[in-house]
Structure 1
Amino acid sequence: MIPEKIKFGCLLEKGVAEVKEMKLPELKEDELLVKQEACNICTTDYQQWLGLREHQGYPMAGGHECSGTVIAKGAAVGDIYEVGDKVSVVYDYCGYCDECKHGEVTSCENIKQFGKNYSEEYYGIFGFANYFIRKAKSFVKMNPELPASEAAFVEPLSSVIQNMKKLRVKSGTDTVVVIGAGTMGLLNAETARAFGARVIVSELMEKKLNVAQEMGFETINPKEVDAVAKVKELTNGKGADIVVVAVGATAANNQALEMVKPKDGKISMYAAGYPAPDMDVDPNKIHYMRLELIGTYGSTLEDFADAAEMLNTGRVDVSKLVETHIPLADIQEAFKTASTPGNFRVSVTLN
């Protein structure tokens, strides 16, 4: 049954999330109508709720880590998707700008990530909607046995996969240290391990350390030991081949510079911080160490496809990265929980 109206979560201003209602748009020939089942609250979402990303605009019908079931399709979709298929959302994109031609769909020049692409009134891509219509090209197919909240990890995992590709992780030889065991830190750790690296996780919070250990990672607690010295000890004095900075903090940035090996090491500046953290970088040190400082943001179409494959086959397991499930009706409580320090992903259940 196709609904006449949809309900969706929306940020109206700092600290205010409410459920709104609007008429469901008409299904076009190249689109899918999806009954969205879960949307996870990402750092970008709750930081705007906290007032740290006011530049994204209000009202924000946000949420982009979502998955659901196809319940109707346009005539031109063909047999690519069928009613009943489980899918996860990819950012919409035009397909013909210079960025899209290179697969860089999250940098599309014509369809902005958090623009008013689906509504004249609301910013965002309506991830927190119980039903929504999108272009068929804006989905990837998911394993029907994968829980909706885990299938919703396609978007964040795609950005982590891009990170691993840029870092050129070498299977069987590289030691990767991940600073920060939050959701994205452990997702980087899990993916680096899937790429064949030895992974060490450094984290201050006991709860996060426990989860990292449950996931089978070597861990370091900087409250108990000198993290830099411990990394050197665990790598026979060499240092890490790669350090992924998965927390936006000046101390983490500077620590990475000390942990990385003295020649041909790589540091991934994965996390953004608001306000922006500092980094005390000596250009001569970069020069003589042949050090690579690597930034990464967004994903390509290939990254999204790879993320779906890794989740669908179990190469990456995100089951321990979902903190709790909260219904759409309690969207304000969901944002409060998601923004609580130490928590992993909060999944908003939509139907």
Structure 2
Amino acid sequence: MIPNKITFGCLTKKGAAEVRERELPELKADELLVKQEACNICTTDYQQWQGLREHQGYPMAGGHECSGVVIAKGQEVGNAFETGDRVSILYDYCGICDNCKAGEITNCQNIEMFGKNYSDEYYGLFGFANYFIRKAKSFVKMSPDLPPEEAAFVEPLGSVLHNMKKLRIRPGKDTVVVIGAGTMGLLNAEVARAMGGRVIVSEMMDKKIDISKSMGFEVIDAKTENPVQRVMEFTNGQGADIVILAVGATAANNQALEMIKKRDAKISLFAAGYPAPQMTIDPNMIHYKKIELIGTFGSDLDDYNNAARMLNEKRVDVSKLVEEKIPLARIQEAFEKANPGNYRVSVILNAD
């Protein structure tokens, strides 16, 4: 049965999330109607709720780490999707601009990432809606064996894979330090290990230290140990080949500069911070030590497809990265719990 209305969560101002209703538009020939099951609150969503990303606009019908089940499809969709398929959403993209033709859909020149793409009133992708209609090209197929909240990890995992392409990890040779054992830090750690790197995780929070150890990583307790000194001990004084900054903090940025090896190291500035963190570095140091400072953001189509494949084949395990599941009716509570001390809070969109 196709509903007439949808129920969705949105941010109306700093610190305020609420549930609203609107009409469900007519299904077009190239679209899918999806019963959305789960949408995880990412750092971007949480920072907007905090009032740190108000440049993105209110009201924000956000959410983009989302999965669900196809319940209807347009006549031009073809055989790529069938009713009953589990899917995860991608960012919106036009498919015709130069960036989209190159697969760089998060840099689409015609559709804003968090623009008013579905409504004249609301910004955002309506990831926190119980039902929604999107272009079929904006989905990837997921395994029916994956829980909805795990299938929703395609977008964040895709951004990690995009980072890994730039880092060019050498299997069996590179030591990778991940600073910050939050959701994105441990996703980076898992993928770096899957690609053959030796991975060391640095973290201050006891809960995250315990999770990191349970996932089999070498761990530095940054609140009781000197991370730079410990990295040198782990590497027999050589330093790290690669440091991934999975937290946006000045102290972490400067630690990364001290724990890298003497030549040809790479530092990935994976995380954004609000307000913006600082990094104190002598340009001559970059020159003589041949340091690569790598910026990374978003994903391309290959990253999304590879992320879906890795999740479907269980080559990465995200089950420990879901903190709690909360129904859509309690979305304000969900945002309150989605703080940096926790892993992903998943909003359940069709709770009985």
**TM-score normalised per structure 2:** 0.99
Give the corresponding residue for 1:318: 318
Matched, 1:252 2:252: yes
Matched residue type, 1:115: G
Matched, 1:304 2:304: yes
Q: Give, in angstroms, the shift of residue 53 of structure 1.
A: 0.6
Percent of counterpart pairs with the same letter? 73
Give the corresponding residue for 1:195: 195
Moved over 3 A (4+): none
Distance 2:225 2:212 in 1: 17
Distance 2:172 2:34 in 1: 41
Give the CA RMSD over aligned residues: 0.6
Give the corresponding residue for 1:27: 27
Matched residue type, 1:337: K
Give the corresponding residue for 2:137: 137
Give the corresponding residue for 1:337: 337
Deviations along 1:95-152, one digit per CA (max 9) or x if unpaired, are 1111111111011010111000001110000000000000000000001000000000
Distance 1:188 1:322 in 2: 16
Q: Give, in angstroms, the shift of residue 92 of structure 1.
A: 1.3
Distance 2:180 2:316 in 1: 18
Structure 2's unaligned 5+ residue stretches are none
Distance 2:98 2:256 in 1: 35
Distance 2:195 2:37 in 1: 30
Matched, 1:208 2:198: no
Give the corresponding residue for 1:349: 348
Matched, 1:73 2:69: no
Distance 2:285 2:336 in 1: 42
Deviations along 1:231-252, one digit per CA (max 9) or x if unpaired, are 0111111111100000000000
Give the corresponding residue for 1:279: 279
Give the corresponding residue for 1:125: 125
Deviations along 1:26-78, one digit per CA (max 9) or x if unpaired, are 00000000000000000000101011111010000000000000000000001
Matched, 1:153 2:153: yes
Q: What does residue range 107-122 of structure 1 map to in structure 2 within 5 Å?
A: 107-122=107-122
Distance 1:91 1:256 in 2: 31
Matched, 1:241 2:274: no
Q: Give, in angstroms, the shift of residue 342 of structure 1.
A: 1.1
Equivalences, count: 350
Q: Give, in angstroms, the shift of residue 171 of structure 1.
A: 1.2
SS at 1:77 equivalent: coil
Deviations along 1:136-175, one digit per CA (max 9) or x if unpaired, are 0000000100000000000000000000110011111111
Give the corresponding residue for 2:220: 220
Give the corresponding residue for 1:38: 38
SS at 2:66 equivalent: strand
Q: Give, in angstroms, the shift of residue 343 of structure 1.
A: 0.4
Matched, 1:100 2:105: no
Q: Give, in angstroms, the shift of residue 346 of structure 1.
A: 0.1
Distance 2:328 2:103 in 1: 33
Matched residue type, 1:344: Y
**TM-score normalised per structure 1:** 0.99
Deviations along 1:192-239, one digit per CA (max 9) or x if unpaired, are 111111100000111110000011100001222211011011111111
SS at 2:76 equivalent: helix
Distance 1:64 1:321 in 2: 17
